[in-house]
Amino acid sequence: MKIAIVEDDINMRKSLEIAMSDYKEFEVQTFKHAKDALKGLDNSFDLVITDINMPGMDGIELVKELKGRYEVIIMTGNATLSKAIDSIHLGVKDFLLKPFDVDALIGAIKRESKVQIVQKTAPKTKKTTSGFLGKSDALAKVLNIADKACKTDASILLLGQSGVGKEVFASYIHKNSPRAKKPFIAINMAAIPDNLIESELFGFEKGAFTDASEAKAGQFELANGGTLFLDEIGEMPYGVQAKLLRALQEKEVRRLGALKSIKIDIRVVSATNANLDEKIKDGAFREDLYYRLNTIPLYIPPLKERKDEILQIAEATCKSNCEKYGFKLKSFSNEAKSELLDYNWPGNIRELISVVERSVILSETLEIQRDELFLNVRK
């Protein structure tokens, strides 16, 4: 694999060159400035690794000039959210914050190498879209960003009201990423007692505490190679947040009671319906962890802003429940459809699915009527 490194800091440039010389499968050429790289790059290069902040042309401008001819990994010591989002929109494969462990960079390069090998040898496959029951312009805009984020290992923070489908998005991102054949593990922080979260995430050794009769791997280890989805991240106890931050930064975890750490290679997707800015101000959430998780924020609009999906989701849910309960296929009357469209859906997709399932079970005929939705009670 032929790699170009674009870095204006001579010490950093030399350090990377020396570190990567240990890997015979890599052929490395370095450039001091972006303009030098543009002159020296040819079709033989497979990957470009560039700093963002450089005199003259910066790394983002360089990526724009490359026009997608090479896969790119960006490294920077002065990350901003706008720069991270710009890089993802341009198709950058990974985003590393300085100072980083050389192993983290090597891991990112090897992952990209595997992806390129698969792309060259595997037959073309269709994008996995299972999980979404409807289509709308609002959903398409979010999926457009998700599709670009899928190809990278950047951390993603899913934002939106409860019930909008954040876990479906997390699963979609995993299934359309290079990690698709590895584990996808979802954990709801709000569903685990505070005193068990640390052992659940990081595991424990036999005898680490009174009830630890045998060793147990944590969810980080179980998700190794794949994607770890941390739902309701705003509910994580403050004391555990520091350990999570270290795991993300160092790419390693240590079980409770263990003397040695375990290297991990995971992609983290987290989600919250809480206002993390307010939690940071109140001292309930670490600001440094927030920025580590929030490389790519993905806001999922509520169902009331995705009106085109309401009847699509309702009809798909109706059909699946009829099959589930062995009923003849039912449908909605025109009045019932109007009621579904007029309702505000504060519980979003989760509420809609619940309403439809109940109406399928309780309706007396094959055509579900307005009154059988019971939405007037909810109003």
* Least confident among 94-108, 231-245, 352-366: 94-108
Of the candidate CATH numbers 3.40.50.2000, 3.20.20.70, 3.30.1780.10, 3.40.50.300, the domain formed by 137-299 belongs to 3.40.50.300
The arithmetic mean of pLDDT across residues 223-235, rounded, is 94
- CATH code for 2-121? 3.40.50.2300
Residue 162: predicted pLDDT: 92
Q: Which two tokens stand for residue 251?
A: 């790419």
Residue 172 CA to residue 166 CA, distance in Å, equals: 10
Query: Which of the four pLDDT bands, split at 50, 70 and 90, describes residue 215?
Result: confident
CA 115 to chain CA centroid, Å, is 18
Q: Residue 75 pLDDT > 90, yes or no?
A: no
Residue 71 CA to residue 93 CA, distance in Å, equals: 7
> Looking at this protein, which amino acid is placed at residue 332?
F
Q: Residue 329 pLDDT > 60, yes or no?
A: yes
For 307-323, the pLDDT digits (tens) are: 999 999 999 999 999 99
The arithmetic mean of pLDDT across residues 30-41, rounded, is 90
Supply the mean pLDDT for the chain: 87
Q: Partners of 331 in the beta sheet?
A: 367
Q: Residue 267 pLDDT > 90, yes or no?
A: yes
Residue 15 CA to residue 6 CA, distance in Å, equals: 13
Q: What is the pTM of this model?
A: 0.67
Q: Looking up tokens 């990690």, which residue turns up?
A: 179
- Say what percent of the chain tops pLDDT 90: 53
Residue 139, Cβ density class (10 Å: 0-12 exposed, 13-18 middle, ≥19 buried)? buried
DSSP string, 57-85: S-HHHHHHHHTTSSEEEEEESS--HHHHH
Residue 241 CA to residue 190 CA, distance in Å, equals: 14
- CATH code for 304-378? 1.10.8.60
Residue 52: predicted pLDDT: 87
* Least confident among 60-64, 110-114, 231-235, 348-352: 110-114
Query: Which of the four pLDDT bands, split at 50, 70 and 90, describes residue 122?
Result: very low
Q: Which two tokens stand for residue 240?
A: 């555990």
The arithmetic mean of pLDDT across residues 168-180, rounded, is 92
For 77-120, the pLDDT digits (tens) are: 765 556 666 666 666 777 787 777 788 888 888 877 776 665 55
Q: Which residue has the higher pLDDT, 270 or 122?
A: 270
Residue 51 CA to residue 323 CA, distance in Å, equals: 55
Query: Which of the four pLDDT bands, split at 50, 70 and 90, describes residue 279?
Result: very high
Residue 123: predicted pLDDT: 43
Give the best-scoring range by mean pLDDT among 18-27, 88-97, 297-306.
297-306
Helix (H) or strand (E) run with residue 228 in it? strand 227-231
Query: Which of the four pLDDT bands, split at 50, 70 and 90, describes residue 358?
Result: very high
**Domain assignments of the chain as residue spans, ordered by start:** 2-121, 137-299, 304-378
2-121 against 137-299: fold identical = yes
Residue 255 CA to residue 56 CA, distance in Å, equals: 47
Residue 230: predicted pLDDT: 95
Residue 356: predicted pLDDT: 96
